[in-house]
Structure 1
Amino acid sequence: MLQIIGTKKCTQTRKALRYCKERSIPYQFVNLEERSLSDGEWAKVFNSLNAESLIDEESKYYKKGGYSWREYDPEEELMLHSELLKTPLLKLGQRVVQGVDTDFLEASREHA
């Protein structure tokens, strides 16, 4: 089943949720404000996507934490601080994509 990983505050996450609801695409919403991803889920994310590309450099947490000038391991920081993650992440099986990818969402309907 398709998983949409994000927060309810994120406009792009809400867009993905609305897209699925309007087209009756079954999904599971993982709210990062309520629970963090497991080590296995993070492994699938990092196998599909580069950790550096998942860092939201426009987020308040990034700016407040001084990430622009300090050295850090992107994977480790994302696992510890999901506030740095660009959302939504769309996960289906072993594949993970970042952002509202309508082709990916439509393809997930076939796997439902």
Structure 2
Amino acid sequence: MLRVYGIKNCDTVKKSLKWLDKNEVAYEFIDVRQQPLQKETVSGWLQKLPAESLLNKRSTSWRNLSDEQKSVVDANAIAELVAEQPTLFKRPLVESGQAVHCGFNEKLWSERYL
């Protein structure tokens, strides 16, 4: 079963959950506003994908960070930052077995999850 992390009111998350339902793909949705992220969870993601793939640098949350926060490259510090401000990661984030993927791409999801 997929584990999908996101924010309930995010349009991309809504679209992806609709796609999963339509295609009858089993998943568990974790709304990170209702169930705060743990630093250890984010650290696990960073072991499976680069920070550049995880961080949503187009988000308002990213733009509101200080230059010092934006320049952080240490995985531990990035994990702490994302756990504190979950709107910094690209949504949705999907855990599938040992793999982690960010964002919604219908073609890619069809290949991976159907």
- Normalised to the residue count of structure 1, the TM-score between the two structures is 0.79
Q: What's the Cα RMSD here? A: 2.1
- Normalised to the residue count of structure 2, the TM-score between the two structures is 0.78
Partner residue, 1:27: 27
Partner residue, 1:36: 36
Change (3 A) 1:99 1:78: same
Q: Which moved more, 1:80-89 or 1:37-46?
A: 37-46
Cα shift readout 1:67-90 (whole Å, capped 9, x = no counterpart): xx2232423311222121111101
Q: Identity rate of aligned residues, in percent?
A: 24
Q: The residue matched to 1:91 in structure 2 has which SS? A: strand
Q: The residue matched to 1:5 in structure 2 has which SS? A: strand
Q: The residue matched to 1:4 in structure 2 has which SS? A: strand
- Counterpart Cα distance in 2 of 1:90 and 1:78: 16
Change (3 A) 1:107 1:47: same
Change (3 A) 1:106 1:20: farther
Written as runs of structure 1 = structure 2, the 5 A alignment for 1:1-112 is: 1-66=1-66, 69-70=67-68, 71-72=71-72, 73-102=77-106, 103-104=108-109, 107-109=112-114
Cα shift readout 1:25-59 (whole Å, capped 9, x = no counterpart): 11100101101233443233112111233222222
Change (3 A) 1:26 1:91: same
| Alignment check: 8 A CA contact 1:3 1:90 kept | yes
| Alignment check: 8 A CA contact 1:89 1:98 kept | yes
Q: Which runs of 4+ in 1 moved over 6 A?
A: none
